[in-house]
A = this chain, B = another copy of it.
Amino acid sequence: MSLSEGVEWSLHCAWLLAQVPPGKALSSRRMAEFYGLPPAYLSKLLKSLVRAGILAATTGPRGGFRLARPAAGITVLEVTEAVEGSGPLFRCTEIRQQGPAPALKADCRRPCGIAQVMHDAEQAWRAHLAATTIADLVGQATSGSGGRVRAWLDRLPEHAAPTRPGLAIVDD
């Protein structure tokens, strides 16, 4: 069992978007380029993050994705669940109630020891993921990686200040 690669990609994209200046956005194509990922699959993934309320999408020539909420309010658990779903890792099918000596209904009001330990372990996993936000991840990154991201963002033509027609240099 393992999480899909979409979890890694989504967390990295959220981390990247947290560093995009206010009022700007990043297209799916740009993010695929930044991480060397397949654009079509990444685009599908980003749409699922929009559906989960983690990203917001804007259209137009300078459109793209941005975080839908402050990075400090988006947890690693939310991003993971947006990709993998929020269902349990361990699905109890109550096999104790099957066969020639089934458990009594009265004994099955509570989960059995097996379901309980699997559930408790899973809660510990989720609690760890819920305790870290995208803002925490940005804060933990090395100054070098933050600098590289800012330099790359600054070079994007779509992030350059729009030329105001009134200020255009005209050759006549």
Report A111-156 residues with CB < 8 Å from chain B CB. Answer: 112-114, 116-118, 120-122, 124-129, 132, 136-137, 140-142, 144-145, 148-149, 151-152
**CB proximity of A61 to chain B, nearest CB, Å:** 21
CA distance A98 to B142 in the complex (A): 17
| Number of chain A interface residues as a range | 35 or more
CB contacts (< 8 Å) of A91 on chain B: these are 2-3, 5, 8
Say whether chain A's binding surface is mostly helix, strand, loop, or mixed.
helix
**Which residues of chain B are within 8 angstroms of A160 by Cβ–Cβ distance?**
none
Chain B nearest CB: distance from A96 CB in Å? 7
In the complex with contacts A101-B34, A129-B121, A144-B104, A114-B15 CB distance below 8 A:
yes
Q: Give 10 CB contacts A-B under 8 Å.
A: A1-B2, A1-B89, A7-B90, A8-B92, A15-B113, A36-B99, A103-B145, A113-B141, A121-B126, A124-B125
